[in-house]
């Protein structure tokens, strides 16, 4: 199976888990492909691939000529984590930025120097540098090589990020072009409820928590119907992935923002865009305030 297909199967498998948890299915429940496909808004083919991943993990049993059946209770599935595979490009992107934040990389560098340091293929490095440049993290020197920008001062970057998002995300929910797919909102709600009900959030991989957070903001940005809003939030999420992983180990705060997300989702499900925008503003302001408090302590 190709890497992209594997990532897609794992994503669908996680969404199926969310639906199982929300519906509170009992062990032995027949997981019908068409029902799951309708709930997830996809065809039966990716659903079948997701069910096969869950079979491999011992969650589901495949019975010949009968289909797939749930083996474990919804509660027993809460602690199951499904990690998404990471691309070589993304891995290099993250390690370069984290090394820079840790002071292990100089402000100015050359492509040859980075290739030797990380022992990576030139194509991988070139694509990574292009992505870092697009995200405003590096720029070409006037002469030779590249330089890191001040964006990677974590406190400054996070303050600017939340300030920027406060300007656009609440407003994006008030656009007359807003179109929220109800199945999408249902899937998002199920993802968050599974995290809220988890007995120990510190056992959930930071990557899974981040993806739940990031997908919420990106899908609502996409629902605004404005491509520039979506691109801006995707760029912000790439930056946050590098600077905010640590905060996801704060059990109380993770469950708090999950509950805030669910409130926004519920407002949108009830077609109360104005209320959703107010809740989004409060949600981002709370995170902005936390960044300022943390910065004041350092």
E strand intervals along 115-261: 138-140, 146-148
pLDDT tens-digit profile of 170-219?
999 999 999 999 888 988 998 898 888 887 777 777 777 888 899 999 99
Based on the number of CB atoms within 10 Å of its own CB, is 276 exposed (0-12), middle (13-18) or buried (19 or more)? buried
H-run or E-run covering 3: helix 3-23
- Per-residue confidence (pLDDT) for residue 85, from 0 to 100: 58
The CATH number fitting domain 3-77, selected from 2.30.30.40, 1.20.1050.10, 1.20.1270.360, 1.10.10.10: 1.10.10.10
Among the listed residues 91, 98, 85, 152, the one whose alpha carbon sits nearest the alpha carbon of residue 125: 91
- Per-residue confidence (pLDDT) for residue 98, from 0 to 100: 79
| Tokens coding 204 | 């959930």
Q: How many residues does the chain have?
A: 298
CA dist 111 to 133, 149, 238, Å? 13, 16, 22
| Tokens coding 221 | 């940005």
- Per-residue confidence (pLDDT) for residue 226, from 0 to 100: 95
| Tokens coding 239 | 């930056």
| Tokens coding 162 | 């939340």
Please state at what angle helix 273-297 crosses helix 154-172, rounded to 10 degrees.
170
What is the CATH number assigned to the segment(s) 88-152?
Answer: 1.10.10.10
The CATH number fitting domain 154-297, selected from 3.30.930.10, 3.40.50.150, 1.20.120.530, 1.10.760.10: 1.20.120.530
Please state at what angle helix 154-172 crosses helix 206-223, rounded to 10 degrees.
40
CB 152 within 8 A of CB 101: yes
Q: Is there a shared CATH topology between the 88-152 domain and the 154-297 domain?
A: no
Among the listed residues 4, 207, 10, 13, the one whose alpha carbon sits nearest the alpha carbon of residue 87: 4
* Rounded-to-integer distance, Cα 133 and Cα 206, Å: 25
List the chain pLDDT tens, one digit each, 298 residues: 344 456 678 888 888 888 887 778 889 999 999 989 888 878 889 899 999 989 988 889 999 989 999 998 877 776 666 665 556 787 888 888 878 877 899 999 999 999 999 998 888 899 999 988 887 788 999 888 999 887 665 677 778 889 999 999 999 999 999 999 988 898 899 889 888 888 777 777 777 788 889 999 999 999 999 999 999 999 888 777 767 655 555 667 888 999 999 999 999 999 999 999 999 999 999 988 887 777 676 6
pLDDT tens-digit profile of 103-140?
899 999 999 999 999 998 888 899 999 988 887 788 99
For the chain, give every domain's residue range: 3-77, 88-152, 154-297
Residue 31: strand, helix, or coil:
strand
Based on the number of CB atoms within 10 Å of its own CB, is 162 exposed (0-12), middle (13-18) or buried (19 or more)? buried
């Amino acid at each position: 199976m190709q890497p992209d297909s594997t990532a897609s199967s794992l994503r669908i498998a996680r969404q199926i888990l969310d639906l199982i948890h929300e519906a509170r299915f009992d062990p032995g429940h027949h997981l019908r492909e068409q029902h799951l496909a309708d709930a997830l808004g996809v065809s039966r083919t990716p659903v079948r691939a997701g069910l096969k991943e869950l079979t491999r993990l011992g969650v589901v049993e495949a019975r010949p000529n009968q289909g797939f059946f749930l083996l474990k209770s919804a509660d027993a599935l809460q602690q199951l984590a499904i990690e998404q595979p990471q691309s070589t490009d993304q891995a290099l992107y993250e390690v370069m930025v984290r090394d820079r934040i840790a002071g292990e990389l100089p402000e100015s560098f050359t492509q040859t120097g980075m290739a030797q340091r990380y022992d990576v293929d030139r194509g991988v490095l070139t694509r990574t540098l292009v992505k870092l440049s697009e995200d405003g993290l590096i720029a070409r020197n006037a002469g030779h090589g590249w330089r890191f920008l001040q964006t990677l001062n974590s406190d400054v970057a996070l303050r600017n990020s939340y300030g920027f998002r406060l300007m656009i995300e609440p407003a994006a929910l008030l656009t007359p072009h807003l179109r929220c797919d109800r199945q999408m909102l249902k899937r998002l709600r199920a993802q968050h409820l599974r995290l809220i009900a988890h007995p120990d959030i510190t056992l959930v991989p930071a990557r899974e928590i981040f993806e739940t957070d990031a997908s919420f903001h990106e899908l609502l940005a996409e629902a605004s119907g404005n491509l520039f809003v979506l691109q801006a939030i995707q760029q912000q999420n790439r930056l946050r992935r590098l600077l905010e992983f640590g905060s996801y180990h704060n059990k109380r705060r993770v469950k708090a923002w999950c509950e805030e997300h669910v409130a926004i989702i519920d407002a949108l499900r009830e077609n109360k865009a104005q209320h959703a925008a107010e809740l989004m503003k409060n949600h981002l302001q709370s995170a902005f305030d936390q960044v300022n408090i943390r910065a004041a302590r350092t």
